[in-house]
Structure 1
Amino acid sequence: MHLVLLRFLKQHKFIFDMSKDDFKKKYVGSYLGIAWAFIQPLISLLIFWFVFQVGFKHMPMNDFPFILWFSVALIPWNFFSDALQTATNSITENSFLVKKVIFKVQILPIVKIYSSLFVHLFFLVFLFVLFSIYGFQPNIYYLQIPYFLICMIALLLGLSWITSSLVIFLKDVGQVVSMILQFGFWLTPIFYSLTAIPEKYQFLIKLNPLYYIIEGYRGIFLYHYWFWERPQQTLYFWLVTFIFLLIGYYLFKKLRPHFADVI
């Protein structure tokens, strides 16, 4: 048991170190370096805030300032979108590692997910500060943040095992993922409330597993409820995530022997 735990910790440290190196390499050569990882999402958030809050003078959502209601949904979406896109290309970007028999290629998508997680953690701190400015103090519901991080990482892992293995054989998969994410942004209630959708179509929005996570973040920061207070949605999310993990693991294992022949 101790040997298994030690092996897990060593492997996790290896993944974490690779993630840090990957995070740094993304911005090598640019003048501002890794600062771009935080500047770009922040500018996007400010643009949306200016358009909807200043330009259209969007009214408060459910009695909460629009910037809070909106940013608490956009920030987890940005993490999901960035992680899935980069994890999809994780194997093709590291083709030299694929030909090493002893290297576990399945960890490459995890490396990309962790790399995107670093930026997400920064924006979680940004949320804490933003909510404090508006007079919202930390509360016990913040303890759910690790749970929803695990939710996203598990979902991302299953999806990225599927997309990263398929993109080697079907180059168009990367473009399909980008297109799906564009549609997904508008099909996820990020800047609009679910109540804005006709009731008979609301179930379609709830089929999106990101709906569970987005509403979970709002439950933490705004509405103050626990994830187990939504038992049906929690069960549905983990069922879908488990299916993606099973499909992703099987597909990756099945195609792994052919990676070196194609890359």
Structure 2
Amino acid sequence: MLQSIWAYRYFIFTSIKNELKARFLRSKLGAVWMIIHPLMQVLIYAVILSEVLSAKLQGVTSKYGYALYLLAGMLFWTLFSETVGKCVTLFVDNGNLMRKIAFPRICLPIIAAGTALVNNLLLAAAIFGVFAVLGHFPGAQVVWLPMLMLLTLLLAMSVGIFLGVLNVFMRDIGQIVPVVLNALFWLTPIVYSLNALPERFQRWFGLNPLYSLVTSYQSVLVYGNPPLWADLGRLLLAALVMSVMAMIVFRRSSAEMVDAL
């Protein structure tokens, strides 16, 4: 698979470029739309919830502390949810392409993940611009942000590919995943701090596997602290195991997927 990805690297890069172009063809604002939607969502949450939650953000002295906290969490969530969402419907949406053209099927999730990563990098640039306007400048710990983004991408791809293969044979998966993602968004401390919850719930919400990732984003971008290395190490191991399992399922089901599509 790695040899196939390298051999078709120009096909992958061109496909990512063409997908980004096609999305905003005839659009006046172009790539700006990729960052408007998440930023508007952050603005809505910040306006509605900041008065309720901002006072409970420990260690943030800025009066825009809640907005900063929310922007950091949304940067993580946008990359994770977009990658999973793309991979789940990927094989079904590209059924005609898989039947008619001979190419390594693994290129499809790589293209989807690459597109999501480019979108997230543009969003990150916009968020850093907002940080500067609000007078907040992340410290030296921000150098760990690329590593956190890659770990997020690895986890999202492993989950998305596995569910994408299942979705070919059980189309209900494509309907269930958006519901689960919506629930997972509220079970992850993105629009609230874990400290704002009653103590009896904090331990249970802390068991969320995404907790260490989103908290690490918030630590390096808002608080200037290092990531949660111990928790991230366990999450990386789990992501690697899941990615191996996803690749095994993908390879064994590749021929059957074409027939099912």
42 and 135 in structure 1: CA distance in 2 versus 1, 3 angstrom threshold? closer
AA aligned opposite 2:40: I
The answer for the alignment partner of 1:206 in structure 2 is: 206
Among residues 39, 49, 71, which one is paired with 2:36 in the alignment?
39
The count of residues paired between Structure 1 and Structure 2 equals 256
Gaps of 5+ in 1: none
The 1-side partners of 2:5 and 2:103 are apart by 15
Q: Larger RCO: Structure 1 or Structure 2 (Cα < 8 Å, ≥ 6 residues apart)?
A: 2
Partner of 1:135, secondary structure, is coil
2:57 corresponds to 1:61: yes
210 and 254 in structure 1: CA distance in 2 versus 1, 3 angstrom threshold? same
139 and 232 in structure 1: CA distance in 2 versus 1, 3 angstrom threshold? closer
2:33 corresponds to 1:22: no
**Aligned residues of 2:53 and 2:66 also touching (Cα < 8 A):** no
The 2-side partners of 1:99 and 1:150 are apart by 31
Give the CA deviation at 1:113.
Answer: 1.6
The answer for the alignment partner of 1:239 in structure 2 is: 237
Give the CA deviation at 1:138.
Answer: 4.5
Give the CA deviation at 1:119.
Answer: 1.8
**Stretch moving more, 7-16 or 62-71:** 7-16
**Aligned residues of 2:53 and 2:192 also touching (Cα < 8 A):** no
The 1-side partners of 2:241 and 2:161 are apart by 12
The 2-side partners of 1:76 and 1:95 are apart by 30
The answer for the alignment partner of 1:48 in structure 2 is: 45
AA aligned opposite 2:247: Y
Partner of 1:256, secondary structure, is helix
Give the CA deviation at 1:75.
Answer: 2.1
The answer for the alignment partner of 1:120 in structure 2 is: 120
- The TM-score normalised by the length of structure 1 is 0.87
**Stretch moving more, 113-122 or 199-208:** 199-208
Give the CA deviation at 1:200.
Answer: 4.5
2:164 corresponds to 1:164: yes
**Stretch moving more, 184-193 or 208-217:** 208-217
**Aligned residues of 1:98 and 1:259 also touching (Cα < 8 A):** no
222 and 31 in structure 1: CA distance in 2 versus 1, 3 angstrom threshold? closer
The 1-side partners of 2:152 and 2:195 are apart by 24
AA aligned opposite 2:73: A
**Stretch moving more, 122-131 or 28-37:** 28-37
29 and 166 in structure 1: CA distance in 2 versus 1, 3 angstrom threshold? farther
Deviation string 1:170-222 (CA, Å, 9 cap, x unpaired) is: 11111111011011011000111112334454343233232122111111112
**Aligned residues of 1:87 and 1:160 also touching (Cα < 8 A):** yes
**Pairwise CA RMSD of aligned residues?**
2.4
**Stretch moving more, 73-82 or 9-18:** 9-18
37 and 132 in structure 1: CA distance in 2 versus 1, 3 angstrom threshold? closer
- The TM-score normalised by the length of structure 2 is 0.87
Deviation string 1:112-151 (CA, Å, 9 cap, x unpaired) is: 1211222211121122122222322343212111101110
1:1-263 matches, cutoff 5 A: 11-28=8-25, 32-53=29-50, 58-59=54-55, 61-64=57-60, 65-99=65-99, 102-227=102-227, 230-263=228-261
Give the CA deviation at 1:63.
Answer: 4.3
The 2-side partners of 1:60 and 1:203 are apart by 18
**Aligned residues of 1:169 and 1:262 also touching (Cα < 8 A):** yes
Gaps of 5+ in 2: none
**Aligned residues of 2:138 and 2:220 also touching (Cα < 8 A):** no
The 1-side partners of 2:157 and 2:174 are apart by 16
Matched residues, percent identical?
Answer: 25
Partner of 1:59, secondary structure, is helix
**Aligned residues of 1:209 and 1:240 also touching (Cα < 8 A):** no
